[in-house]
Amino acid sequence: MSLSNAKVHVNPRSTGISSAQTYEKHTSELSLKPEALELARCRDLDIQTEHVKTVELINFDESTNRLTTRKVDGQELFHTVWNPTYLLGRLKGHQLDDPDVIRARIIEAGSWLRKYHESSASSLPEGPDGNWMEAEFCRKIEDIRKGRLIPEAKLARIEKKFGAELSKLSQPAYLEANNAFACRVHGDFVIYNILIDKQKNLHVLDFGETCISGNLDDVARFYSSLWAIAETNSTRRKLLGDLPARFLNAYGVSPEIVETPYFRCSLVHNFLTHFSGQFYMRDLLSWNSNREMSQITRAGIKWVYKQI
């Protein structure tokens, strides 16, 4: 790839180089092969809705661990809804074009996610479950404890209440009892990992955390990010406040599912993940990005504290 007109993107786990036509991702932290295989599977099975699909896989070089996808001429869906909905963003000239279309696309992401999950649900190994989340939850608790990010008394209550529920994930009938099913999940299905192009089509990316788990892991992940963003100011609440419920309906579950134990545990896990992630990435983010993440984090942690 010629670097004369390339742009380099760096995040904590990978480096990306974008040219006029492609985006090349490389990392020494983990193999990109599972991500490449999942993009290929979605392509081969034609997993898409009218306006939502994955980014297009072009090539994966296993010897150099480089993943190349077709470049999307657009931006993160997060920035599309965030930048025009606060004063500084508006002063910088950001405007939200076609808000009704943007809302419709976010809702359609629920329909795409259902199609994605169902594409693998009938072809899994015998006896899969979602117990990876229990291990992730325990690891997240320990990270937060070591960093002293949450007072120990509150952290212990969070650990006791939600850890007990997550320990049930290895039980064969647990997912079904919670209106869930095992499938291949994206693993980090949030608004930050979706691009929107100039034609208002959505492109899902970053399948680096893909694994077999309960379908509601992805559903709760997207729901939590959308809900927390809507809670950051009145403008976003007006624009996005009803979308978490509409997203759930488009996925095919009742909004009442947010009251079930498994879904609430997933929300707690997601909010803690966002909280600890911002802390450990703070030196890599700009002042404004840290400010943005802090607003979202506060909304999520406030919700978690209300549960205990």
The residue assigned the tokens 């729901």 is: 223
**What does the pLDDT read at residue 2?**
46
**Residue-range domain boundaries for the chain:** 1-71, 74-307
Distance CA(267)–CA(219), nearest Å, equals: 10
Q: How far is CA 5 from CA 1, 11, 20, 98, 197, in A?
A: 10, 20, 7, 31, 20
Give me the pLDDT at residue 13, please.
Answer: 62
Instruction: List own/partner pairs for 165-171 with CB under 8 A and 24 or more apart.
Output: 165/261, 165/262, 165/265, 166/131, 166/133, 166/134, 166/137, 166/265, 166/269, 167/134, 169/129, 169/130, 169/131, 169/133, 169/134, 169/214, 169/262, 170/129, 170/131, 170/134, 171/129
Phi, psi of 19 (to 5 degrees): -115, -165
State the pLDDT at residue 14.
65
Which residues are paired to 76 by β-bridges?
Answer: 195
Q: Residue 12: what pLDDT?
A: 52
Distance CA 175, CA 253 (A): 14
What is the dihedral sign for C-alpha 35, 36, 38, 42?
A: positive
223, 256 Cβ separation under 8 angstroms: no
pTM of the complete model: 0.91
Inter-residue contact 228 to 268 (CB < 8 Å): no
Q: Which CATH superfamily is domain 74-307 in?
A: Aminoglycoside phosphotransferase (APH), C-terminal lobe (3.90.1200.10)
pLDDT in tens, the chain (308 residues): 444 455 545 455 667 788 889 999 999 889 999 999 999 999 999 999 999 999 999 999 999 999 999 999 999 999 999 999 998 889 899 999 899 999 999 999 999 999 999 999 988 766 555 677 888 899 999 999 999 999 999 999 999 999 999 998 888 788 889 989 999 999 999 999 999 999 999 999 999 999 998 999 999 999 999 999 999 999 999 999 999 999 999 999 999 999 999 999 999 999 999 998 888 777 777 777 788 889 999 999 999 999 99
Class of domain 1-71: alpha beta
